[in-house]
Structure 1
């Protein structure tokens, strides 16, 4: 203190105090912290993580919808192309089949014309038989064959019974007796069943035999 007496007032004012006093009362400290808190920073302009995820999901959903729509259009175009090709193949097949049958029609017309000119029944019959054989040959070339000729056991897989005829002979029971309309197979599959009359043994004789 003695040294400070002789020094100017300005130098004494510049000297720092040897200690500081801090007010630790909580309400005073809280007020000081609030006043000294820095200003809030403005919100960032960049999207948040949730917003980024939402945008990504929306983009994926849009791409998925476009992909599904494109596949649907492609499938529809493919279906139409297949249908058109099938129609063209069917038309081509029909044309080839009819082309094979036209000679049969030509021969039938010749046979009828010859019969009119000569009035010969025998010649007409021979001509029709030739046409019939030619027609069967054309059908066979396409894989079509008639069902086995009579007599044969009744087969519900290939025969359609349109009538029953009682028989005395037990060997004719369930046997095809008459063929009203011939049946045909195509490549081993049934094309048309044969309409037939089936033999059935009389009930009296059947019971007596038992």
Structure 2
């Protein structure tokens, strides 16, 4: 009887071990299954992020290409607005030349050319071009290019006494310095 009780206890223990092992295996299997689902979700998420990254990279490449093209087009056609404003002046010059061939009235031709010059000057001023005032000003190497030094009793030393060629600025940048004679 003792033997039977021992066998029953052993069997019960074995069954308990098997149950515990089965439960542990089931829990481990469930845990592995949950981990696999989590891993699969993370893979899907990583793939979504990678696809989003690829789209963003493609969008950026397209943006860069468009920007470069717009910059090239801007540089190519930047002078278009100015040229469009100068075309009426060219037309007026052509009219003045055509009229002067048929007419010997030099006074009218001079008046017409002066009007065209003022029109041309107004277009350039509207674009930001301005003359550099030189005569009577102190010599400034940023705005003036001295080509000669002359003796002058009416101007103090270092003063611009004569402008040989006009200088121009475009907004705040010197395009061409004035060529001047300076008192010495």
- TM-score, with length taken from structure 2: 0.62
Deviation (angstroms), 1:52: 5.3
Structure 2: distance between partners of 1:65 and 1:169: 81
Structure 2 counterpart of 1:197: 180
CA 95–165 in structure 1, closer or farther in 2 if over 3 Å, else same = same
- What is the count of residue pairs matched by the alignment? 170
Structure 1 counterpart of 2:7: none
Deviation (angstroms), 1:96: 4.0
Q: Deviations over 1:184-205 (max 9, x none)?
A: 333xx2261324235262xxxx
Structure of larger gyration radius: 1
Q: Secondary structure at the match of 2:29?
A: coil
Structure 2 counterpart of 1:12: none
Q: What's the C-alpha RMSD, in Å, of the aligned pairs?
A: 4.2
Q: Deviations over 1:77-100 (max 9, x none)?
A: 344555666647984x74443232
CA 198–49 in structure 1, closer or farther in 2 if over 3 Å, else same = farther
CA 70–114 in structure 1, closer or farther in 2 if over 3 Å, else same = same
Is contact 2:132-2:167 (8 Å) kept? yes
Q: How does 1:56-135 map to 2 (within 5 A)?
A: 56-81=41-66, 87=73, 91=77, 94-119=79-104, 122-135=107-120
Structure 2: distance between partners of 1:56 and 1:194: 71
2:145 is the counterpart of 1:161: yes
CA 77–49 in structure 1, closer or farther in 2 if over 3 Å, else same = same
Q: Secondary structure at the match of 2:111?
A: helix
Q: Deviations over 1:105-128 (max 9, x none)?
A: 122222233333445555544333
Q: Secondary structure at the match of 1:183?
A: strand
Structure 1: distance between partners of 2:109 and 2:89: 15
CA 193–88 in structure 1, closer or farther in 2 if over 3 Å, else same = closer
Structure 2: 5+ residue runs without aligned partners? 5-9
CA 71–172 in structure 1, closer or farther in 2 if over 3 Å, else same = farther
Q: Secondary structure at the match of 1:153?
A: coil
Structure 1: 5+ residue runs without aligned partners? 1-16, 23-31, 202-210
CA 61–149 in structure 1, closer or farther in 2 if over 3 Å, else same = same
Deviation (angstroms), 1:136: 0.6
Structure 2 counterpart of 1:185: 170
More helix as a share of residues: 2
Q: Secondary structure at the match of 1:146?
A: strand
